[in-house]
Structure 1
Amino acid sequence: MQQHPVPQAITTYKFRLVGNMTLKQFLELAFGVVIAWLIFSSGLNFFIKWTLGPLFGFLGFALAFVPIEDRPLDQWIINFFKAIYLPTRFIFKPQTKTMAIFSPAPPLPPKTNKAFANPAQLQEYLSTLPTSPATAFDEAEHKYLEHIYQLFGALGISRPAPIVKPEQPQPANPYKSNLKGVRVRKLFSPQICLLPHPASPAGGAAIFQAPPEPKQASMPLANSKSQILNPKKAPIPKIQIPKKPLAPPTKPITQTVSPTFASGVVMPHSLDKPNLITGIVLDKSGKIIPNVIIEIRDKQDLPVRALKSNKLGQFFTATPLSDGIYQIQAEQAGQKFAIIKLEAKNEIIPPLKIQAVA
């Protein structure tokens, strides 16, 4: 087995100048050599030359090729000066300004319709609107009420005097209406009158019979006294529509055949246990079909196994089935298979042959 290489930095690219020497290492080495050559070429003291010259030469070599704990020497020098001159003491100053998240806004009061908050103000507002002229329906209603009052007068009952309420001065409407052209239609409300009990004929009192009522062609309502005194509506019969029973959905009829066993087929697992289902799937021409879904259902039509054929068209179960009758159905796009009815009797079952019918 080949060992995996050591992970390296692949996100940054370093230009290699000579072998494994990068451009940065070459410049650092050249810097030390040039400084050492300048010191030796100068007219300084012999002791100074042979002290500073080799020192700068070794410094350039160390910067380029002597890392300490996998870090180059120049990084150590830069971190040293940062640690010396950068501040190490910090003073915390709390913020005087409160954040908006800690100062929630006060809830706004619920908005109410001031113009209609009070029912009395609503009535005052409606009274200021212009009234529309009486329509034909209003006149017919008024005539019908007058006719009822005439019937009460024919029975000897005096018409009750209308209650007159003293008019109150209407205050100025403080609310201005934005609705223009809205008219309020005033309807005549009938007065409620209670009829006295009629005297008994045995007491000798005469019963006054009202004259026949005149027929009005423009009156759409009932004009007979019996209908007025005892209004009854005929019950409307309800038509009951019988509900049709819903027919259960029909299932497609699939052909059920007896199992066909494949002779001479070598399965990857030996059949040493009873009630193991194995077999091969073929098309109509006898060629193997891979990736076919095979479903095994019991007597209650519940799935107990779901298999898939391999590249050689073979399928097999890992655990045996219980004794009983099972249905084996195969599904594949473009192929149609018949349902195989198989009975497990605690015996070794030979490999099945499932062949497409269309």
Structure 2
Amino acid sequence: MENHPIPQDVTGFKFKLIGSVTIKQFLYLLGAGILTTITFVLPIPVYVKFPFMGLFAFVGLGLAFVPIEGRPMDTMIANFAKTIPSENEYIYRKRGVNLATYDFFKPLVQVATPQQQTQKATSESDTRRAILLSQLRAHYITPDQAETKFLKNIKSVFDETPKPKIQQEVKISTKTEEVAVAAPEPSVLTATTDAAPTPTAPLEESESIRVVGPLQQLKAGFPTIPDTPNIVLGIVKDPRGRVLQNILVEVVDTSNVPVRAFKTNVLGQFASATPLPNGTYRVIFEDPQKIHEFEITEITLTGEIFNPLEAVSLDQRERLRRELFANLSTGTPSVQQGAAI
């Protein structure tokens, strides 16, 4: 078989002996030659011998090389032999009724067909099925509480209606009113004095780094928080509210020993994989590109669930804004004093 880039018929491949002559064609020629030789050797009259010799030679050459309608002669002869015993004669039989003798007013007799019986049986099965369904509706299945709580949490994340927010804001207002009524005014003053010795330090710290409450967690980018206590997590943003990625976050203890180190992801978030022991820690933020600056914050872990931190950077624009407001605040008393004088 010669190599050829075009796929060839492998199943119908025929071995060739001489040129394009296949083994099958060679056997037909060999058989015709043997029969012709035997006829030539037989002691029979010449007028009988030569016609048979010519017939055998013609049949052998025809079977080997002469196709009929694109098919070999042996295939056509085999098909012809198969079609001879098959029925190929058709007889026309007239079917119908004679309109002259047909009784048009003959009463019809209705007989129940098997199809109608099956429809009745199916209707009975439908009746039983309806009874079973009514019994199932009567028995109420109590859903799993844990699964129901989980589905409610997911629904609250994707719910866009402002109703839950309004209810939560109302609850917050009631709590603040109760605290304001219960706590006397001197205790509030002592709490502010104990928080920081200078009045400007806590204001700057609250603007830059703050703890996100349960109501603002979804807005800050935390649909859910871990249930494990003492897990430090948070988000880093710029003053315009855009998240910052690849910001280095380092948590050190009171001995200034690093205990955790993170890098913010694409969403600007960071979180520790394991909880920290109870104690006081400092959280240090650093920008490898030296574009943003952050303040150092101090956190205290007490074995409870830690709310996420929201750290806002200080860039050049933010520094100018703060300096402008600081100048305005310092310039206001001088104007008042001049007016008083």
TM-score for both structures, normalised by structure 1: 0.32
What TM-score do the two structures reach when normalised by structure 2?
0.33
Larger radius of gyration: 1
